[in-house]
């Protein structure tokens, strides 16, 4: 499709090693078709909505074979259609683990997602699953009123659920740390004119210390 053609071109032109995509509407058959079409450059991990994988939701993590060891990477579905983790090994270190998120719009269901992810990592059978160095995607909530226009706080229990997960994983809002008072929005609701920064990247302390060129740009997808 045009969407995946653009994803392939974007990763080539911008030299993106790891890309997280939401609203993929992709079952395993579709994932394989797209990966086969662009197999020279990308490898795709995906999780679809459990009830309607080709009709709504879904998360994919796309790896650029030219920049990362994509064929040695592994993935784990944390929550079907909502949370997907991929570990990319590196010869000179422990590698990188990315957790891609597509959170529900409903505040209560949003809260449940964070609780489910915490429960996943707490489960004894999942002790061997690498913890993410980076968590990114569409969170559908903000932590601060500053990240909405007009400004307003999001549901307290939902925000606390996300923060509990961030504490557990020891992840931080890198852009906000670099820009404590700045406003930048990733989503514009045309009907109301409201804007928000619901799409974010959380990273480990070592990554936050090294990352400097945080940018918010339209993808064109």
Mapping DSSP onto H, E and C, the string for 82-143 reads: CEEEEEEEECCEEEEEEEEEECCCCHHHHHHHHHHHHHHHHCHHHCCCCCCCEEEEECCCCC
**Cα separation of 18 and 203, whole Å?**
14
Is 140 marked as a binding-site residue? yes
**118 class by beta-carbon count within 10 Å (0-12 exposed, 13-18 middle, 19+ buried):** middle
Distance CA 37, CA 2 (A): 12
Residue 131 token pair = 């913890």
Is 138 marked within a binding site? Answer: yes
Q: Could you tell me if 165 and 130 are in contact, meaning their C-beta atoms sit under 8 angstroms apart? A: no
Residues tagged in the binding site annotation for Mg(2+): 23, 138, 140
Residues tagged in the binding site annotation: 23, 138, 140
């Amino acid at each position: 499709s045009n969407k995946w053609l653009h994803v392939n071109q974007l990763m080539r032109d911008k030299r993106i090693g790891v890309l997280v995509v939401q609203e993929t509407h992709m079952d395993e058959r579709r994932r394989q078709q797209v990966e086969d079409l662009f197999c020279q450059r990308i490898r795709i991990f995906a999780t679809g909505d459990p009830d309607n994988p080709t009709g709504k939701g879904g998360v994919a993590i796309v790896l650029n074979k030219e920049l990362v060891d994509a064929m040695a990477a592994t993935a784990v579905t944390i929550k079907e259609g909502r949370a997907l983790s991929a570990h990319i090994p590196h010869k000179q270190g422990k590698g990188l683990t990315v957790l891609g998120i597509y959170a529900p719009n409903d505040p209560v269901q949003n809260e449940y997602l964070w609780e489910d992810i915490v429960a996943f990592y707490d489960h004894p059978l999942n002790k061997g699953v690498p913890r993410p160095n980076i968590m990114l995607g569409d969170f559908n909530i903000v932590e601060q009123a500053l990240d909405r226009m007009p400004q307003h706080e999001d549901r307290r229990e939902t925000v606390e659920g996300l923060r509990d997960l961030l504490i557990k994983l020891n992840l931080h809002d890198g852009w906000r740390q670099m820009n404590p008072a700045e406003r930048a929005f990733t989503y514009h609701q045309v009907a109301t004119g409201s804007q928000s920064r619901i799409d974010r990247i959380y990273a480990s302390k070592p990554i936050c210390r090294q990352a400097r060129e945080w940018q918010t740009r339209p993808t064109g997808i």
